[in-house]
Amino acid sequence: MRWLSSLTHKKASDIISDFIVYIMCVLIFIIIAYPLYFVVIASVSNADLVALGEVTMYPKGFSWFAYQKIFEDERVWIGYRNTIFYTVVGTLFNLFLTLPAAYALSRKEFRPRHGLMFYFIFTMFFSGGLIPTYILMKKLGLENTPWVFIVPFSVNIYNLIVTRVYFETSIPQELYEAATLDGCSHLRFFLKIALPLSKPVIAVIALYYIVGHWNDFFTGLIYIRDKNLVPLQLVLRDILIANLVFKEGVGLGGAAGGYAQRYADSIKYALIIVASLPVLVLYPFLQKYFKKGIMFGALKG
C-alpha cells in the first residue's frame, strides 16, 4: 500500500511524464542497441548469410575467423601500442594548450580576447592545404616520427570554444572578484578554483581529444613510413581492404573465391569492435565527472 501513497504525492502530470520518459528511453534503447547487437552477431557469422539478410537475432554460421584474422596479425598489437601512446601523450598536450587558453579567453577583462578568438576561428575555415603542411612537417623534422601525432594541430578550435563557453557560464565573475580580494592571481585562481569546478567540461573535451587521436587515420597515412610507428586505424584499414578485396580482385586474374571468402565481410564488423572497444570502455570512467550538481553554497566559503 505504500507505493499507492507515494503515488499520490506526485502530481498527475508527473506520473504521465514519467511514463513518457520511460517509454521514450526504451524506444531509444532499442533503436540504438539493435543495430549494435547486429554488428556483434554479424562479426561472428558467415558473411554471405549476413548480406542475404538471414542473420537477424542470433549468429548463423558461427566462426571466430574474423577475430582470428585480426589478432593473429602482429601489426595489430603494434598498432594498439602506438595508438595508446599517441593518444595519452597527445591528449595531455592538447589539454595543456587548450585549457589555459580557454580560460584566458573567457575572462571579460581580457580585452584582446575578441581579436584572438577571430584569429583562432579563422583557421577553422581557411587553410593552405596538404602540400604546404607536408613541406612544413618535413622542415620541422616531424615527418615519420611519433611527434607528428602529438605536436601539430594540437588545439582544436571547436573544443577551445566549448571550454571557453563553459568557463564563461560556470565560473561567475563574483567568485573571481572574491578571490582577488584575497590576493589571488589569475593563474592561482585557474589552478585552484576554476579547474576543479570544471571537471565536466574537462572530461568532455578530454574525451573529444582522446577519440580524435584514437580515430585519426589521416596523419599516419600521410606522414608515416616506418612500420613500427603505424597507428591502429591504419593497420585495421589495411586488413579491411585486404579482405574486401577477396571480392574485388575479380577479372584481374581471378583473385577471389578462396576459402576465406565466406568470412570476408564479417571482418568488417569485427573491426568495429576491435577498433572501438578501448574507447568504449573508457567512457564509464569519465562519466562520473558528469554527476549532478555541486552545491554552489559550498564554494562561497
Query: By CB under 8 A, is residue 241 in contact with other proteins?
Result: yes
| CB contact at 8 A, 56 and 41 | no
- Window 215-234: contact mask with other proteins (x via CB under 8 A): x--x--xx--x---------
Nearer to other proteins by Cβ, of 109 and 182: the residue is 109
Name which of 222, 238, 234 is nearest 144 in CA terms: 222
Grid cell for residue 99: 585549457
Q: Which of 201, 206, 210, 229 binds other proteins (CB under 8 A)?
A: 201
How many chain residues bind other proteins (CB under 8 A)?
136
Q: Count the Cβ atoms, other than its own, within 10 Å of residue 169.
A: 9
Within residues 128-187, the interface with other proteins by CB under 8 A covers 128-136, 138, 140, 152-155, 158, 160-162, 165-166, 168-170, 185-187
Q: Which of 3, 5, 74, 253 binds other proteins (CB under 8 A)?
A: 253
Q: Residue-wise over 263-297: b if at least 16 C-beta within 10 A, else e?
A: bbbbbbbbbebbbeeeeeebeeebeeeeeeeeeee
Minimum distance, C-beta of residue 240 to other proteins, in the bound complex (Å): 8
Q: Which of 2, 9, 108, 291 binds other proteins (CB under 8 A)?
A: 291
Q: Which of 19, 58, 77, 290 binds other proteins (CB under 8 A)?
A: 290
Nearest-angstrom CA–CA distance, 175 and 298:
12
Query: By CB under 8 A, is residue 269 in contact with other proteins?
Result: yes
Name which of 62, 60, 80, 61 is nearest 70 in CA terms: 80
Within residues 70-89, the interface with other proteins by CB under 8 A covers none
Query: By CB under 8 A, is residue 35 in contact with other proteins?
Result: yes
Binding span for other proteins by CB under 8 A among 45-53, 65-73, 74-82, 84-92:
45-53
Name which of 162, 182, 164 is nearest 107 in CA terms: 164
Minimum distance, C-beta of residue 78 to other proteins, in the bound complex (Å): 14
| CB contact at 8 A, 67 and 43 | yes
One-letter amino acid at 220 equals G
Q: Which of 62, 92, 119, 180 binds other proteins (CB under 8 A)?
A: 119
Q: Which of 3, 6, 72, 109 binds other proteins (CB under 8 A)?
A: 109
Q: What is the DSSP letter of 193?
A: I
Q: Which of 7, 52, 88, 92 binds other proteins (CB under 8 A)?
A: 52
Query: By CB under 8 A, is residue 121 in contact with other proteins?
Result: yes
Nearer to other proteins by Cβ, of 81 and 114: the residue is 114
Query: By CB under 8 A, is residue 103 in contact with other proteins?
Result: yes
Binding span for other proteins by CB under 8 A among 10-18, 73-81, 83-91, 176-184:
10-18
| Stretch (H or E) spanning 64 | none
Name which of 292, 301, 268, 240 is nearest 44 in CA terms: 268
33 — phi, psi (to 5°)? -70, -35
Residue with cell 585549457: 99
Binding span for other proteins by CB under 8 A among 64-72, 74-82, 84-92, 109-117:
109-117
Nearest-angstrom CA–CA distance, 207 and 91:
9
144: left (phi over 0), alpha (psi -120 to 50) or beta: left
